[in-house]
Each structure stands twice: as structure tokens, then as C-alpha cells.
Amino acid sequence: MAMKKKPVTGMKDILPREMEIRDYAIGLIKDTYRSFGFTSVETPAVEHIENLSSNQGGENEKLIFKILKRGDKLTSAVSKMATEPDTGILTDSGLRYDLTLPLSRYYANNANDLPSPFKALQMGSVWRADRPQRGRYRQFMQCDIDILGEPGIIAEIELILATTTLLGKLDFSRFTIRINDRRILKAMAAYSGFDEADYDTVFIILDKMDKIGLDGVREELLKEGYATDKVDKYLGMYSKLVGDGSSDNSNSEEYDSAAKAESSIANIRLIKDTLGDYLDDEVSENLETIITSVENAKSADFGVQFDPTLVRGMSYYTGPIFEISMDEYGGSVGGGGRYDEMIGKFTGQQTPAVGFSIGFERIVMLLLESDFQVPGAGTKKAYLIEKKMPADKLRKILEKAKEERENGTTVNVSIMKKNKKFQKEKMQEEGYTEFEEFFCDREF
Amino acid sequence: MAMKKKPVTGMKDILPREMEIRDYAIGLIKDTYRSFGFTSVETPAVEHIENLSSNQGGENEKLIFKILKRGDKLTSAVSKMATEPDTGILTDSGLRYDLTLPLSRYYANNANDLPSPFKALQMGSVWRADRPQRGRYRQFMQCDIDILGEPGIIAEIELILATTTLLGKLDFSRFTIRINDRRILKAMAAYSGFDEADYDTVFIILDKMDKIGLDGVREELLKEGYATDKVDKYLGMYSKLVGDGSSDNSNSEEYDSAAKAESSIANIRLIKDTLGDYLDDEVSENLETIITSVENAKSADFGVQFDPTLVRGMSYYTGPIFEISMDEYGGSVGGGGRYDEMIGKFTGQQTPAVGFSIGFERIVMLLLESDFQVPGAGTKKAYLIEKKMPADKLRKILEKAKEERENGTTVNVSIMKKNKKFQKEKMQEEGYTEFEEFFCDREF
């Protein structure tokens, strides 16, 4: 059978230049998050199909790569297919589509061996059989930090500080952490008279605010059949908070994170006053504390902004939610939130949980495009040795290489090619700056 | 549907203690191999089923996790199943079972963008639907270095030096690199009168020498129906080389790597003299040079030994083959060899290639069992803060944490629990040695 050279549809081979940036970013991520007390964990790439199909994954559940049963189980499933043509019986597992569901299972399975609260760092590939598009792949790396077992907002604050410290070390600046709370979203909808059953539909439309503006949202809500008085009451609040709803394209010259925080606090207080009993005071006070604490203790150059239109897709969020926006990149480069009810689905026992995921692939893409230079890679030196080097001379060369490597230099020992000039040029492209040549008939 | 807590059969959740060792080992591997001029590459976990079934994977091809087709392709395959009950049509891809086949495809696909020779480092998970056994999992990490495009033995020497330097840095010592050459194996069989068609069977039996000894091998060869004169001639040589064939259980007090190298050279010369024209002189001379070069330029405490009974399972090897033996561990903790004909299967153009894979999971297991302490992890400090800390005091705590983290200390900010003593004890188990307490009503 002919061998296929290209990777499977939608997946990619990663070339050395990108790997250098990935490896550097991975090292930095581990070091930074470790300094905040997070410990690495790993779950298998393959998960039970029952868990993957448990309605915790939203739209992603439609995109599962399913794994075929094996042996007798497959034979038996296939013979059943004749009378019951349901492809579901062919599979018992699939590739994970995120790291949150596996982490919940992991915690349920290992809670006795884990500290409490448990601060987990996970880096790993996930798979989604999405329609292939430019820059989006069917296998991609996710990088999540989660704090399980801590109900207080110290968890949210630490997650945001850890993530933004990391981004700062990767030379990103002037980005914005947008923050909201699912309970504010709900209270605003309740206050306006929407039924709880309609919240998800309303939020999906609200989520488009930065694309279609306040008028667009109004139009879509009315088209959905909601009464004009509810819609007007609802959008009346948003109009006070976000103006006409178009995204805040403030000139980056004028970037002022203290002003962002200040206007956020004002907006939160406005909402609190408007909603009255619809919103628990603690929710707005906590959001204020998160914003002021992050603004004051941050170690990177960014702003925190309360964004009452921030929705986050996943319905499992229960409290504060957040997202990273960067001007260089049209969309979100990461996000997260509190999901206090997911782990109970496995354990039967409620466990508070909050997580923050950075868009590793997008960050690598931004670094690649900005021609980011990996710092501190050390000297790269090439030894070019003539073919058929006698054993005793080869030994001397290898001993010299050993010494230099022990001193931190990369030494690439290669056979000298006929076109030595071209060989050196190619190696220079790979970052080799020093060359040493060894000939069979010369002393060294 | 009920959620399942355990991982899927044969796969495992990795706990923090093991992850700490894994992360440390991964960092050391990348640094060490980088100093030898290797660059990281990555291929997708999912490969074309045609490539995985191309007879390059030996027994592993029976253990593929196959991925179900999706959408219209699945519907069409299922309807075909009614008349053609071949489960093969249900799948178009599968999880990779090793890193060698994907690397060959990668090289074929990207050769124009890669240096020549290309020194690749790959670390990644592979999947085999093996019968679950203690200590062996269906998902495990492989760690391979390969040099593509270099026909000379400098490639073998550099691979062995890089791998052994790494093992030395991981505190392993007194292990043995066993080395042989597929062409010596073949020449010994040819000299004894075996037909080429019988080589694979003969080698599979020879491979058991360290378990069943010379007499056991003799018995099995005769049982297979080979003529006594061939078997006698064949084993006559081995008897001179390895004595009675039982494995070399020399007392570790007497570990003498120079003697190992010396006896290896003597044995190679003995074989060379015996085989005469059956063996190209270059093969034995190269093997000698590899052994003496490694013995002289090595930077760890180990020995190299010529082992004429070393076979290595995969039929794709074409030249030198090697394996790492450790007394602490009954079997091999890594191996590799030259496979000059595999890449041509993709490209149609022969490309010399040689690789060395370490048994990452075994190495991690040995480190875990030996209670290995990850060096240089830095101070781990816990801030225990009282609940409901006022925002202004929280800010001070976070600023202090920021400062300490910038100085390299891990700072874990946690809410103080009622049972503070127990909380501290648990954190001490995690490596926290310093504690600082913050109360709402005290100054700090």
C-alpha cells in the first residue's frame, strides 16, 4: 500500500522553528505556574465515551474522534449493527476534546491522594473533528490551571495573576482581562423579566454585542420573539454600561489600566444599585475585590475590565468568568471561570472549582508572527570533520565536544560536505554562529 | 448517564509526585539533546491507517487504536457493511504506536525545510492496545533521537554519547550499552548455512539466549527442523563468544568498562577472522570504532559491550543495533539502530537513518522507586491567610507574594483552615518548608 506523506486532514507536523518557541513557552509556563504553587498532572488522551457525551462539553461533543472497539466487542457490535444500525455501539472511548472534563474525572478518582485545595497545571493535546480552517487544527495543545476545593475569590485572583504574569514574561503587554459573573448575567436577565428557560438563548445573542452592537442585539432578541418591554429594559441597562456596544477600540497610545479598573468599579456599582435584590451583594463586592486586587498586585502591563456582555460559551460556569483580549489578535487568547457544580457530577459531592485556560496555539502563533527570539539559547557551534577520520583523531574531537557541551555550548558534530560554504550557510540559518574544521591529515 | 471515575482500561492518571519527576526528566532530556545539536519536532498523534498498516511496525500493527470515520463517510461505510462485513472500512486513521514511522512520514513531507543531516528529538505519547499488565500501559511516552541523512558512524557514536550523557545526568551508572550489527547477525547465519528465508526465525530463537542459554537455543533450533550440522556450526561460534550464553551477572563490585570494551574488540576480531568473506571488513571495523570512541569520549559511568546475540525485534534495522541494559531493571531501558531503508518507502529516495529511543516510562519508574529527589526545586513557602481578609490587606499580601516569586520562591497563597496544624502537615508532605500566617485583625 502506498504510504501517505501528508499528515491526516486538519492536523500538522510541527517544524523546528515553531518547536523552539513551543518548548520555550512550555518551560516558562511550568516555571511560572510552579512559582504560584501549581503542580503538574496528566490524564490519558483517551476517555470513556460516556464521560465525553455527558453534556459537559457543549458543542464540542459533536466533534469527538471516536475510537473503534476491538476484538470480541467489535465483532459483537458489528453483528448487532445488522438489526440496529446505530454507530454508537461501535465505540467505547474517544479522544478528549478539552482538559476540564478529564480533570474533573481525575479529581474524583484521586481526591484522597491530592492536597486540598488542589492547584493543578495541565498541558496536553486535545482533539476536535472541526471543519479544517486556516490556523485552526484538529489537534491542538491546551494549557489549563485550575484550583479545586477553594470557594473563595483568592482562587480567581491567583489564577488571573498567574496567567498574566506568564503573558508578561512572554513579552505580551497592554492586553485586557475582561471579567463578568454568571450570576450578574442571570440577575440582569431576571430583572428584565426573562424566564430562566430563555437565559441561554438570550446570552448567546448578548455574546454578539462586540460584533453587531446594541442595535443588532436588540433586533435579534425581538426576532426571537421576546416582548419589547423586556428587551428595552434589558438593553437599557447595557446602554448605560457599554454605550452603543461596539468594541472599545481605544487608541493604544491612551492605554490606561487604572482608568479601566476605575470605570469597571463604577459600572459594577451602577448594576448593583439597579438590580437591588436581584443580585446578592457578595457577588458584586467580590468582583470589585478581584478587579482591585489584580490591578494592584499585577506584575505585567495589562488592564482588568468589567464587561457585562461577556458570556463564555460553556453552560457549566457558575460564578466569575474571564477572558483575555489582545489587540494584536482579533479574538480571545484565553479564558476561564468558576464551575462549582461539575465535579459533583462525578463524586456526588459538590467541590468548588475555578480554572483559567490560555490559548497556547494562538500565543505560539503570535510569537511566531512577531519573529520572537527565544532568549538565552546559548552558543551554537558546529564541528565539521572530514570523512574517514582516523579513530584516534576522532576521539580527540569527541573529547573536545564533550568539554564544550559541559560548558553549556551546543556542539553539532557533522561530516564536512563537498560544498562546505553551502553547508555553513544552511547551518547559520539554524542559528550556528561558530564553526571549527577538522582534517584527517592535520594536527589539532 | 453515569460518569466514570476511573481512566479507560490500561491507561493511567499521573499524580503530582510522578509528574514532578517526569517534568524534570523532560527538561533534562531537552537540554542535553539540544547540546548535541538535536532539534525538537512533533507529529500528530493520529496517523493515516494506511501508514500504520504498512508493515513497518511489526507486531505493533495488531495493537492499533483505530478511529471511527465521521459524517457521510461513516454512513456510507456502515451501509456497505451490510454486504461486506469488513470492519476495516469503518476507519481511516488511528493512534500512532511508535514515533519512528511518523518521523519517516514527517521527513518525507518536510525534507526541503529541514537541515541535512537532520538531528531530530521527539517526545510524545504512543498508544498500543496491549493486554493490560502491571507497570505497562496502553498510553506511554516515547523519547527518540534520530539522525537522518548521515551514512557514517559518527551518527551512531553521537546518538550513544547523547543518550548515555543524559542517563548519567539522571544519576544512572554502571549500565551497559550492548551493541551488534544486523549484518554480523546475517553473516553468522549465512556462514553456518542457513537460508536467508530462515533468518528471522533463527534470530527470534537466538534472541532468547540470555533467558534459555546456549543449550536452550540449540534445542529450539533443532525443534524448528534445522539440520544439526548448521546448528552446531552456528552455536559453535556463539559458544566461543559468550560461553554458555547465560547472562553476564558479574558482580557490580567488579564493574570494569575498559575490560568490557577490550573483550568486545577481541570478540569482534574473532568473528571477523572466522567469517572471512561472509562479512565486509568495514562492518567490523566500524563496530570497533564505535566501541572505542564511546568508551573514550563518554561522560557517564557505563560500559559498551559487543553482544553477538543482540537481535532487536524490528526487521527494519539494516546496520548497527544497540540496547541499554541496567542491573536494577531486568530488561532493556532503551535501544535503537540504523534503518537505512525505511524513509525510502515514503520518498522513493534512500535516506540513511539511525535512531536511539530511551524507555522513558521505565526510567521514570526507576527514579520513582529509588525515591529520586528532583534537584534545585527552590524554596516552597505557604501563605496561610484568614478568611474574609479586607481588600487593602489582601493587596499587601499579594504584593509580598509577587516579590518573593520574582526572587525564585514558590509562594502558595491559601485560606487558613480550622485545623491549621493538619493543613501544614499536609503541605509539608508536598514539600512546603516555610509558612507565614496572616490575620485580618493584625498588622503585617
ipTM of this complex prediction, to 2 decimal places: 0.92
Which pLDDT belongs to residue A246?
Answer: 57
Which pLDDT belongs to residue B244?
Answer: 67
* Average pLDDT of span B61-68: 92
Which pLDDT belongs to residue B329?
Answer: 77
Q: How far is A78 from chain B (nearest CA, A)?
A: 8
Band (pLDDT 50/70/90 cuts) for residue A428 is: very high
Band (pLDDT 50/70/90 cuts) for residue B425 is: very high
Which pLDDT belongs to residue B24?
Answer: 95
Alpha carbon A279 to its chain centroid, in Å, reads 30
Q: Do A68 and B90 touch (CB under 8 A)?
A: yes
Q: How far is B1 from chain A (nearest CA, A)?
A: 7
Cβ neighbours of B261 (radius 10 Å): 20
Q: Do A8 and B44 touch (CB under 8 A)?
A: yes
Whether residue A122 contacts residue A41, with contact meaning beta carbons closer than 8 Å, is answered with yes
Whether residue B154 contacts residue A415, with contact meaning beta carbons closer than 8 Å, is answered with yes
Whether residue B30 contacts residue B38, with contact meaning beta carbons closer than 8 Å, is answered with no
Helix (H, G, I), strand (E, B) or coil at A105: helix
* Average pLDDT of span A296-316: 90
Which pLDDT belongs to residue B2?
Answer: 65
- Whole-angstrom Cα distance, residue B16 to residue A42? 9
| φ, ψ for residue A175, nearest 5 deg | -95, 175
Alpha carbon A173 to its chain centroid, in Å, reads 17
Which pLDDT belongs to residue A349?
Answer: 86
| Mean pLDDT computed over every residue of chain B | 91
Evaluate if residue B57 carries a pLDDT over 90: no
Which pLDDT belongs to residue A98?
Answer: 93
Cis peptide before A352 (omega within 30 of 0): no
- Whole-angstrom Cα distance, residue B100 to residue B86? 28
Cis peptide before B117 (omega within 30 of 0): yes
pLDDT tens digits, A215-239: 999 999 999 999 999 999 999 999 9
Residue (of B95, B317, B85, B297) closest to B184 by Cα position: B317
Q: Do A413 and B385 touch (CB under 8 A)?
A: no
As to burial, measured by CB atoms within 10 angstroms (0-12 exposed, 13-18 middle, 19+ buried), residue A229 is exposed
Evaluate if residue B247 carries a pLDDT over 70: no
pLDDT tens digits, A78-121: 888 877 778 889 999 999 999 999 999 999 999 999 998 999 99
Whether residue B292 contacts residue B265, with contact meaning beta carbons closer than 8 Å, is answered with yes
Sheet with strand B46-48: strands edge to edge: A46-48, A91-95, A66-68, B66-68, B91-95, B46-48
- Whole-angstrom Cα distance, residue A276 to residue A195? 18
Grid cell listed for A397: 574531537
Evaluate if residue B18 carries a pLDDT over 60: yes
* Average pLDDT of span B202-223: 94
Residue (of B180, B182, B226, B229) closest to B205 by Cα position: B226
Nearest Cα residue in chain A from B395: A293
When comparing pLDDT for B341 and A46, which is higher? Answer: A46
Q: Please state, for a pLDDT cut of 90, what percent of chain A lies above it.
A: 75
User: Exposure string (b/e) for A273-291, b if CB count within 10 Å is 16 or more?
Assistant: ebbeebbeeebbebbbbbb
Which pLDDT belongs to residue A248?
Answer: 53
Whether residue B100 contacts residue B145, with contact meaning beta carbons closer than 8 Å, is answered with no
Q: Do B15 and A406 touch (CB under 8 A)?
A: no
Q: Do A87 and B65 touch (CB under 8 A)?
A: no
Candidate from B54, B78, B345 with C-beta closest to A87: B78
Which pLDDT belongs to residue A220?
Answer: 97
- Whole-angstrom Cα distance, residue B294 to residue B291? 5
Q: Do B105 and A4 touch (CB under 8 A)?
A: yes
Residues 6+ apart with CB under 8 A from B39: A16, A19, A20, A430, B119, B120, B121
Chain B residues lying within 8 Å of A1, measured CB to CB: 50, 53-54
Q: How far is B110 from chain A (nearest CA, A)?
A: 8
Q: Do A299 and B380 touch (CB under 8 A)?
A: no
Band (pLDDT 50/70/90 cuts) for residue A247 is: low
Question: For the ranges A137-146, B118-127, B320-329, which has the lowest average pLDDT?
Answer: B320-329
Residue (of B409, B397, B390, B444) closest to A297 by Cα position: B397
Which pLDDT belongs to residue B253?
Answer: 52
Grid cell listed for B180: 551488534
Q: Please state, for a pLDDT cut of 70, what percent of chain B lies above it.
A: 97
Q: Do A154 and B12 touch (CB under 8 A)?
A: no
Band (pLDDT 50/70/90 cuts) for residue B245 is: low
Whether residue B65 contacts residue B49, with contact meaning beta carbons closer than 8 Å, is answered with no
Total CB pairs under 8 A between chain A and B: 302
**Side chain identity at A200, as an amino acid letter?**
D
Sheet with strand B302-306: strands edge to edge: B39-40, B118-127, B139-148, B353-358, B329-338, B320-326, B175-181, B302-306
Q: Do A289 and B74 touch (CB under 8 A)?
A: no
Candidate from A1, A44, A426 with C-beta closest to B12: A44
pLDDT tens digits, B142-153: 999 999 999 999
Residues 6+ apart with CB under 8 A from A123: A26, A29, A30, A40, A141, A142, A143, A144, A360
Whether residue A410 contacts residue A440, with contact meaning beta carbons closer than 8 Å, is answered with no
Chain B residues lying within 8 Å of A7, measured CB to CB: 43-44, 47, 105, 109
Residue (of B117, B97, B106) closest to B41 by Cα position: B106
When comparing pLDDT for A241 and A398, which is higher? Answer: A398
Q: Do B40 and A47 touch (CB under 8 A)?
A: no
Residue among B35, B118, B153, B169 with most chain A CBs within 10 A, to mutate: B35
Nearest Cα residue in chain B from A15: B41
Question: In the Cβ-directed half-sphere of B399, how many Cα atoms lie within 13 Å?
Answer: 11
Q: How far is B293 from chain A (nearest CA, A)?
A: 6
Q: How far is B210 from chain A (nearest CA, A)?
A: 32
Evaluate if residue B234 carries a pLDDT over 80: yes
Q: Do B15 and A426 touch (CB under 8 A)?
A: no
* Average pLDDT of span B176-184: 96
Evaluate if residue A27 carries a pLDDT over 50: yes
Evaluate if residue B123 carries a pLDDT over 90: yes
Grid cell listed for B338: 540504523
Question: For the ranges A373-387, B55-69, B106-120, B209-223, which has the lowest average pLDDT?
Answer: B55-69
Alpha carbon B44 to its chain centroid, in Å, reads 18
Residues 6+ apart with CB under 8 A from A371: none
Q: Do B391 and A292 touch (CB under 8 A)?
A: yes
Residue among B6, B8, B11, B420 with most chain A CBs within 10 A, to mutate: B8
Band (pLDDT 50/70/90 cuts) for residue A254 is: low
- Whole-angstrom Cα distance, residue A286 to residue A283? 5
Nearest Cα residue in chain B from A122: B19
Chain B residues lying within 8 Å of A115, measured CB to CB: 426-427, 430
**Torsion angle, CA of B247/B253/B259/B261, rounded to 10 degrees?**
60
**Torsion angle, CA of A228/A231/A234/A239, rounded to 10 degrees?**
-100
When comparing pLDDT for A3 and B252, which is higher? Answer: A3
Band (pLDDT 50/70/90 cuts) for residue B249 is: very low
Band (pLDDT 50/70/90 cuts) for residue A249 is: very low
Q: Do B115 and A430 touch (CB under 8 A)?
A: yes
Q: How far is B43 from chain A (nearest CA, A)?
A: 5
Q: Using N-to-C axis directions, what is the helix angle for A209-223 and A199-206, rounded to 10°?
A: 140
| φ, ψ for residue B341, nearest 5 deg | -110, -5
Nearest Cα residue in chain A from B153: A388
Nearest Cα residue in chain B from A423: B116
Highest mean pLDDT among A70-79, B166-175, B237-246, B367-376: B166-175
Instruction: Identify the DSSP state of A26.
Output: H
**Side chain identity at B335, as an amino acid letter?**
G
Residue (of A3, A11, A115) closest to B344 by Cα position: A3
Q: How far is B328 from chain A (nearest CA, A)?
A: 27
Chain A residues lying within 8 Å of B90, measured CB to CB: 68, 90
Q: How far is B2 from chain A (nearest CA, A)?
A: 7
pLDDT tens digits, B370-401: 988 888 778 999 999 999 899 899 999 999 99
